[in-house]
Amino acid sequence: MSLIVMKFGGSSVGTAERMQRVAQRIIDKKLQGHRVVVVVSAMGDTTDDLIDKSQELNDKPPAREMDMLLTTGEQISVALLAMTIHKLGHEAKSFTGWQAGIVTEAVHGKARISDIAPARLFKALDDGNIAIVAGFQGMTEDGEITTLGRGGSDTTAVALAAAIRADVCEIYTDVDGVYSTDPRVVKNARKLDVISYDEMLELAHLGAAVLHPRAVEYAKHNKVHLVVRSSFTQNEGTLVREEAAMEQGVVVSGIAFDKNVARISILGVEDVPGVLANVFGALAAEGIDVDIIVQSGVQNGKADFSFTVSLTDRAKALGVIENIRSVVSYREATFEEGLVKVSIVGAGMVSNPGVAAKMFDVISKLDVSIKMVSTSEIKCSCVIAAEPLHDVVRALHTAYGLDTADAAFVGGPQDRR
């Protein structure tokens, strides 16, 4: 008897019909002789609806109260799913994140899991139940409810799989695996049978929505057996593991893009030691992630530098920069929106020269300007204007030989968490 964690996103349980289909799939897994722990996201657009309601009453709601509000979405899902399984003649017990023993750091909105005490889950399993856990949430040691941020249900599932030493963690979504790019943009995207943790981590960080980066980090660190598959078909999914054999001739495995990008520029900065440490230290202290950083040459003792943050953090980042003006002298701070980051990823890039050059050439032939560039051993990212994004993705997909003759399967609206 194996122990399996199954995670279903919001689109998978977005309607009563889909909830029933998911319930039957979970029951089938149990009837095969497995012990099953399920992690569920909020149904459909529940979270967005809750956010909209909060904005009607307070456009700057306290972070603690937002966590109190948003965690209700997952609680609705787990209760309804448990009820559905009971209706179908099987035992199930639902748990909030804190009832499942998920302890987090004391940060609202983006908390990280610090510990899991799964005794109640094991008790439910020992009693013959299917254990259903609300994703995306936990509780601090002081008893404060927290959320894990976007993608938090993926993180919940993988962290639980590690804590209970599950044999496999299956992430069910609206596509039947990890593709070479978003199959909604490129209909003939290539489904990957196997991908390495490192490649998947880069794709996730760079905008591929099928898995959240923190979930991949947990999986890699704890060697969780991770599979991405569709909740709408029985097709074999994509296995994420430590190493994946590179397909002959395939240097680039995937193309990711991120629309949640803003560029901030700080102009006329004094060229003295400690400037970058002061700026990025202040941003880090406020929990703002910085991605690409570019500094220009120094003229007359002054320098300019730019960096990217998530679009949602743009206003907060500018506020931080304004607050440190007494420490860091600069002429002005500006921002630019309407940008995207497009990236190529592949373990084969490290041993194949000219991969990045091809990317630049493809983009230039579309008459698109590259505003910023970032590279590593297995990825190259370019920040460009948002408007030509889909044309750029399709052109790159073709240029790196990733097109296939088969149309990709997409079963429903994209999962948010």
Q: What is the rounded CA–CA span in Å between residue 229 and residue 347?
A: 22
By the 8 A CB rule, do 170 and 211 touch?
no
Structure tokens at 319: 């506020």
243 is in an annotated binding site: no
Structure tokens at 65: 């109260």
- 414 burial (CB, 10 Å; 0-12 / 13-18 / 19+) is middle
- In angstroms, how far is CA 143 from the centroid of its own chain? 26
179 is in an annotated binding site: yes
Enter the DSSP assignment of 71. H
Q: What is the rounded CA–CA span in Å between residue 269 and residue 279?
A: 11
Q: Which residues contact 60 (CB under 8 A, 6 or more apart)?
A: none
Backbone angles phi, psi at 235, to 5 degrees: -60, 150
Q: Which residues contact 42 (CB under 8 A, 6 or more apart)?
A: 10, 70, 73, 74, 76, 77, 136, 417
173 is in an annotated binding site: yes
- In angstroms, how far is CA 372 from the centroid of its own chain? 22
184 is in an annotated binding site: yes
Binding-site residues from annotation for substrate: 47, 74
Binding-site residues from annotation: 7-10, 47, 74, 173-174, 179, 184
Binding-site residues from annotation for ATP: 7-10, 173-174, 179, 184
